Chains A and B, each alone.
Chain A
Amino acid sequence: NAGVTQTPKFRILKIGQSMTLQCTQDMNHNYMYWYRQDPGMGLKLIYYSVGAGITDKGEVPNGYNVSRSTTEDFPLRLELAAPSQTSVYFCASSPRLAGLVYEQYFGPGTRLTVT
């Protein structure tokens, strides 16, 4: 199993450009998440999904969009990139066992710089 994979690893965007961060998991997990980590800070939840076709906002959703058409993929779209979106982005997934949710498995992260 590859676990949770993210592409790209690094990206530099100009202000106003758009891009999609890719996230794929091969563990058949129902739940998937996108977090951002600003320098010296903990991770903050952007969006999450509890299954294909179901997504919801987290703590910091402004400037982002997501979709979940398959169990495996959960892409994060940045429209009109701004310097405030400079951050490291983590995708994570989690199984749903016996009605409960357990630990999250994280991808390696994408470092995004907007200049």
Chain B
Amino acid sequence: AQTVTQSQPEMSVQEAETVTLSCTYDTSENNYYLFWYKQPPSRQMILVIRQEAYKQQNATENRFSVNFQKAAKSFSLKISDSQLGDTAMYFCAFMKQGGWGKLQFGAGTQVVVTP
């Protein structure tokens, strides 16, 4: 079974600054996917970014980028130029290939962006 650990319950960042959220996971699988989901106060789950384990290049989506370290089983999310709308709970999630698409979530990190 896989476990996903997010060790930072809450992070605070000022507008325009950068914040990095950490995520580690434990798996014996070689082929898998990793995701970061955002959950704003509206409760809607929104996909932020996805990384395929077979890709060495780190994924980027506009102001969001990841640092994927497969050997260390680490998958951090960097939010650059933080905006007030980035205030949300962020969840790291693991999906093994061939596992029927089931997601294993971490406990989440609350990000608060202040003016």
Give me the interface of A with B, judged by CB distance under 8 Å.
31, 33, 35, 40-45, 48, 50, 56, 58, 88, 90, 92, 94, 96, 100-104, 106, 108-109
Residues B95 and A101 in contact, CB atoms below 8 Å apart: yes
Q: Is B12's CB within 8 Å of the partner chain A?
A: no
Bound: A102/B50 CA distance, A: 9
Bound: A53/B83 CA distance, A: 45
- Please list 27 pairs of residues, one from A and one from B, whose beta carbons are closer than 8 Å in the complex, sorted by A's number: A33-B103, A35-B103, A40-B107, A41-B107, A41-B108, A42-B4, A42-B91, A42-B93, A42-B106, A43-B91, A43-B103, A43-B105, A44-B105, A45-B102, A48-B100, A88-B43, A92-B45, A96-B101, A101-B99, A101-B101, A103-B47, A103-B50, A104-B47, A104-B101, A106-B45, A109-B43, A109-B44
Q: Is B57's CB within 8 Å of the partner chain A?
A: no
Residues on the B chain within 8 Å of A90, using CB: 45
- Classify the secondary structure of B's interface with A: loop
Residues A31 and B100 in contact, CB atoms below 8 Å apart: yes
CB distance from B105 to the nearest CB of A (A): 3
Residues on the B chain within 8 Å of A48, using CB: 100-102
- Classify the secondary structure of A's interface with B: strand
Residues B100 and A101 in contact, CB atoms below 8 Å apart: yes
Residues on the B chain within 8 Å of A33, using CB: 101-103
Bitwise interface map of B from 26 to 48 toward A, beta carbon under 8 Å scored 1, else 0: 00000000010000001111010
**Further 7 A-B residue pairs, CB within 8 A, beyond A41-B107, A45-B102, A56-B100:** A31-B100, A31-B101, A35-B103, A42-B91, A43-B103, A102-B101, A103-B47
Known contacts A48-B100, A103-B35, A103-B50; is-contact A108 B105 (Cβ 8 Å): no
Bound: A92/B95 CA distance, A: 14
Q: Nearest residue in B to A30 (C-beta to C-beta)? A: B101
Residues on the B chain within 8 Å of A50, using CB: 100
